Amino acid sequence: MALLHPFRALRPTPEVAARVASVPYDVVSRDEAAELAAGNPLSFLHVSRAEIELPHSANPYADDIYQVAANNLRALRKKAPLVLEAEPSVYVYRLRTATHSQTGIAGCFSLDEYERGDIKKHERTRRDKETDRTRHIVALRAQTGLTFLTYRAVSDVDGTAARVATREPLIDFERADGVRHSIWRVAPEDARGLIQAFSAIPTLYIADGHHRIASAARARAELRQVARGAAAELADDRGVAEYDTFVAVAFPHDQVQILPYNRVVTQLNGRTPAAFLEALRAVVPAEPGAASPARRGRVSMYLEGTWYELDLEAPSGAGDDRLDVTRLQAHVLEPLLGVADVRTDRRIDFVGGDRGPAELERRVDRGEAAVAFSLAPVRIDDLFAIADADGIMPPKSTWFAPKVCDGLLCHVI
Please report the DSSP string for 264-320 in residue order: EES--TT--HHHHHHHHHTTS-EEE--SS-SSTTEEEEEETTEEEEEETTSS---SS
Q: How much is the pLDDT for 319? A: 45
Q: How confident is the model at residue 232 (pLDDT cuts 50, 70, 90)?
A: very low
Q: What's the Rg (C-alpha) of the chain?
A: 22
Strands 261-265, 348-352: pairing is antiparallel
CB 66 within 8 A of CB 215: no
What's the chain's average pLDDT?
Answer: 94
Do 52 and 167 share a domain, yes or no? Answer: yes
Phi, psi of 103 (to 5 degrees): -130, 125
CB 240 within 8 A of CB 296: no
- We report the CATH number of the domain holding residue 317 as 3.30.1760
Q: Where are the alpha helices (DSSP H) in 288-411?
A: 324-328, 356-365, 380-388
Q: How much is the pLDDT for 233? A: 47
> What sign does the dihedral 240-244-250-252 (CA atoms) show?
negative
Do 148 and 34 share a domain, yes or no? Answer: yes
* Closest among 47, 41, 52, 46 to 19, alpha carbons compared: 41
Strands 258-259, 171-174: pairing is unpaired
CB 334 within 8 A of CB 340: yes
Please give the Cα distance from 350 to 365 (Å, whole number): 17
Model pLDDT for residues 56-108, shown as the tens digit of each residue:
999 999 999 999 999 999 999 999 999 999 999 999 999 999 999 999 999 99
Do 88 and 172 share a domain, yes or no? Answer: yes
Do 364 and 236 share a domain, yes or no? Answer: no
Which amino acid is located at 354 in the chain?
A: D
Containing H/E element for 100? none
Q: Domain range holding 246?
A: 4-257+401-412
Phi, psi of 155 (to 5 degrees): -60, -35
391 domain-assigned: no
Do 109 and 235 share a domain, yes or no? Answer: yes
Do 250 and 276 share a domain, yes or no? Answer: no
Omega before 402 within 30 of 0, i.e. cis: yes
342 domain-assigned: yes
Do 97 and 206 share a domain, yes or no? Answer: yes
Angle of helix 127-140 relative to helix 63-79, nearest 10 degrees, comes to: 40
387 domain-assigned: no
Containing H/E element for 208? strand 204-208
Model pLDDT for residues 267-322, shown as the tens digit of each residue:
999 999 999 999 999 999 999 999 999 899 999 999 999 999 999 987 765 444 67
CB 321 within 8 A of CB 389: no
Model pLDDT for residues 168-198, shown as the tens digit of each residue:
999 999 999 999 999 999 999 999 999 999 9
Q: How confident is the model at residue 236 (pLDDT cuts 50, 70, 90)?
A: low
386 domain-assigned: no
* Closest among 345, 323, 339, 275 to 303, alpha carbons compared: 275
Q: How much is the pLDDT for 304? A: 97
| Measured CA distances, 94 to 23, 101, 102, 188 (Å) | 16, 7, 6, 19
Q: Centre a 10 Å sphere on the Cβ of residue 98 and count the other Cβ atoms it contains.
A: 8
389 domain-assigned: no
Please give the Cα distance from 149 to 205 (Å, whole number): 6
Give the length of the chain: 413
CB 260 within 8 A of CB 399: yes
Q: How much is the pLDDT for 395? A: 87
Do 104 and 163 share a domain, yes or no? Answer: yes
CB 219 within 8 A of CB 114: no
Do 124 and 155 share a domain, yes or no? Answer: yes
Which amino acid is located at 397 in the chain?
A: S
Do 203 and 297 share a domain, yes or no? Answer: no
Do 242 and 265 share a domain, yes or no? Answer: no
Q: What total number of domains does the chain contain?
A: 2
Model pLDDT for residues 17-54, shown as the tens digit of each residue:
999 999 999 999 999 999 999 999 999 999 999 999 99
Please give the Cα distance from 413 to 231 (Å, whole number): 11
Do 242 and 318 share a domain, yes or no? Answer: no
Phi, psi of 343 (to 5 degrees): -75, -25
Model pLDDT for residues 324-340, shown as the tens digit of each residue:
999 999 999 999 999 99
CB 268 within 8 A of CB 337: yes
| Measured CA distances, 303 to 87, 158, 275, 279, 337 (Å) | 56, 45, 12, 14, 13
Buried b (16+ CB within 10 A) or exposed e, 359-370: bbbebbeeeebb
